[in-house]
Amino acid sequence: MKKVLFVILVGLFVCLPCAAKVDVKFTPSNDCEDSIIKYINSSEKTIDIAVYSINNDKIVDALKNAYDRGVKLRILTDKLQASAKSSKVIDLYKYGINIRVNSKHKIEHNKFAIYDRQVASTGSFNWTNPASDKNSENCVFLVQDKNAVNKYCQRFEQLWSMNTQQKSDNWFKNKGI
């Protein structure tokens, strides 16, 4: 009986750290922004992002810092939003970050990121200053959930391949970049 109890306890001890964790945040507040920045800052190899709009100064700075650390960044975004006056997409592109603008769908309305293929974030949270300061939005972080993170990885790869580098480079060229 002691042996069985020991095996059960060891099994629980080993499996508990493997349990998927979901972390949910809401705005207006800095909770989503701070969590996204935390995962950007802790990423060591890759960050893949599909985001509708991006102009949040703190997130943009964290992305630039990650790029400077050698993290491989890929950002897919909406072309109409990328043209917006407050957008930071052109700034990030000029910085050298690999960005593609949507050329396949009417809009690129996703808002998800994958950090080192280990954690995914998603939700209604646009990566904008008003999303933190004024809007009612949400973000969800999927931690230690390999199945969910893999699905986001697969979707990102599909979106990335269907929105070609050539079309994106032409879009930036037409913007005078």
Structure confidence by residue, pLDDT tens digits, 42-66: 999 999 999 999 999 999 999 999 9
The confidence score (pLDDT) of residue 7 equals 42
Neighbour order of strands in the sheet with 72-77: 21-26, 138-143, 119-122, 111-115, 46-51, 72-77, 98-101
Catalytic residue (choose from 31, 58, 116, 175): 116
Tokens of 135: 């809007």
Residue 18 binned pLDDT confidence (cut-offs 50, 70, 90) = low
pLDDT at 8 over 60: no
Alpha helices in the chain (DSSP H): 2-15, 31-42, 57-69, 79-82, 89-95, 129-133, 146-162, 165-174
169 is catalytic: no
20-174 domain in CATH 3.30.870.10?
yes
Catalytic residue (choose from 31, 38, 58, 109): 109
Residues 6+ apart with CB under 8 A from 156: 48, 50, 74, 76, 112, 114
- Proportion of the chain above pLDDT 70, given as a percent: 90
Residue 14 binned pLDDT confidence (cut-offs 50, 70, 90) = very low
111 is catalytic: yes
116 is catalytic: yes
The confidence score (pLDDT) of residue 126 equals 95
- Proportion of the chain above pLDDT 90, given as a percent: 87
> What is the model's pTM?
0.89
Rounded-to-integer distance, Cα 1 and Cα 150, Å = 40
pLDDT at 3 over 60: no
The confidence score (pLDDT) of residue 1 equals 53
Rounded-to-integer distance, Cα 21 and Cα 75, Å = 25
Residue-averaged pLDDT of the chain: 92
